[in-house]
Amino acid sequence: MTALPPGAESPPDFTPAREFWRRGGQPAHPAAQGMNNGGNMRITRRAALAALGLPAPALAQDWAPNRALKLVVPFPPGQASDIASRIVAEQLSRRLGQPVVIENRGGGGGAIGMEAVARATPDGYTLGNAAFGPMTAFPAMGSNLTYDPVRDFSAVAPYGFVPLLWVAHPGAGWNTIEDFVSSARTRTIEWGSGGPGTTQHLAGEWFRQRLGLRLNHVAYRGSAAAIVDLVAGTIPVMMDSVASALPHIRAGRAKPLAVTYGTRVSWLPEVPTVKERLLEDFEVSGWLGLVGPAGMPAPVVTRLNALVNEATADPALLARYQEMGLVTGAPGGPDEFAGFIAGQLQRWRQVARDANIRME
């Protein structure tokens, strides 16, 4: 994932967002309110977590590690998942008082690393960077995995989401997402993605299915290759991450049509969402989260969940995410994250089945 250029430094406001992974957002609750010394109402993060029935740090101190933890990243160093995981590892290390060491175990599109996590001792000392591909896309497409993404892991918490968008060549003649859809209902249009089975591919396929469009997928070896052809006019439209497309959008070489995230994004606040314009329940993004082997003790999961929730609200983390094109969701419990993974798996299995997409 490319870093965002200057001009995107204003921190995004995630508070009003309808969180991608947690339906309903954060409800107002009297117990989440307090009074400051001036008599004005304020809501602290600790009180909000307690009001939601989630583990606040003071409520989750039953587990204190006495040695270093290992966070397995199932991708090579330097990729977005690796960078985000290192940022989170720094935050966890500071809060736990123990090193959190990154171990990159790439291969198999992330499956090799996740297999190692699934087979580890469930004591909290070996954790994994769960991500869209090895945890939902591959099993959805029938890949022959040695692990079950729901049964073989203890879900802890998500720690990042990657907003996507439809982006077109300026000469394609579409000013809005509705223009694109109208064209794709009357003629076949080629569209590109960063490769088969990627978030972009499955998101675009789900979009096509939902609206009955005549779209022909062109799979590239990475988004960088696809956007080169988009800028050249070889393909008229593609699904890409906001971070990857943004430099070309700002240079006038590409035109954004709609964001697939649940809310508008701070880097392109003028660009509407698919939810706004076409499909009220259409929300897709890449995602990253923390998991461990199945059977981790509840106090361990509870403590780690509380600390990830703390970390993803930390201004230092948010500033670094802003540069990368990542966003964070509202705090939530381990059961919610487990339900999110199961729901993702169910959705993408149906999409892959309907489109006859199989992992080779």
For residue 178, give the CATH number of its domain: 3.40.190.10
Domain membership of residue 196 (yes or no) is yes
The predicted model scores a pTM of 0.82
Are 262 and 338 in the same domain? no
Residues 244 and 223: their CA atoms lie apart, in Å, by: 7
Residues 20 and 359: their CA atoms lie apart, in Å, by: 26
Domain membership of residue 91 (yes or no) is yes
Give pLDDT, residue 61. 57
What tens digit of pLDDT does each residue of 196-240 get? 999 999 999 999 999 999 999 999 999 999 999 999 999 999 999
DSSP code of 327?
B
Are 77 and 129 in the same domain? yes
Would you report the helix, strand and coil content of the chain in percent, each value rounded to 5? 40, 20, 40
Give pLDDT, residue 44. 42
Q: Which of 248, 277, 306 is the last residue of a domain?
A: 277
Are 268 and 317 in the same domain? no
Are 116 and 189 in the same domain? no
Are 249 and 216 in the same domain? yes
- Mention every residue, 6+ apart, whose C-beta is less than 8 A from residue 336: 21, 22
Q: How many domains does the chain have?
A: 2
- Contact (CB, 8 A) for 315 and 37: no
Domain membership of residue 141 (yes or no) is yes
Provide the 3-class DSSP secondary structure of residue 276.
helix
The β-bridge partners of 95 are none
Give pLDDT, residue 43. 39
Are 72 and 150 in the same domain? yes
- Contact (CB, 8 A) for 70 and 89: no
Are 298 and 157 in the same domain? yes
DSSP code of 143?
-
Domain membership of residue 297 (yes or no) is yes
Residues 96 and 69: their CA atoms lie apart, in Å, by: 10
Domain membership of residue 135 (yes or no) is yes
Give pLDDT, residue 306. 97
Domain hosting 321: range is 58-162+285-355
Are 155 and 289 in the same domain? yes
- Contact (CB, 8 A) for 81 and 131: yes
Q: Which of 235, 252, 277 is the last residue of a domain?
A: 277
Domain membership of residue 182 (yes or no) is yes
Give pLDDT, residue 303. 97
Give pLDDT, residue 31. 31
The stretches in the chain having pLDDT less than 70 are 1-61, 360
Are 267 and 200 in the same domain? yes
Are 232 and 305 in the same domain? no
Are 247 and 304 in the same domain? no
- Contact (CB, 8 A) for 144 and 111: no
Give pLDDT, residue 360. 64
Are 269 and 173 in the same domain? yes
Domain membership of residue 34 (yes or no) is no
Residues 114 and 128: their CA atoms lie apart, in Å, by: 7
Domain membership of residue 305 (yes or no) is yes
Indicate the residue type of 302: T
Q: Which of 216, 248, 277 is the last residue of a domain?
A: 277
CATH number at residue 307: 3.40.190.150
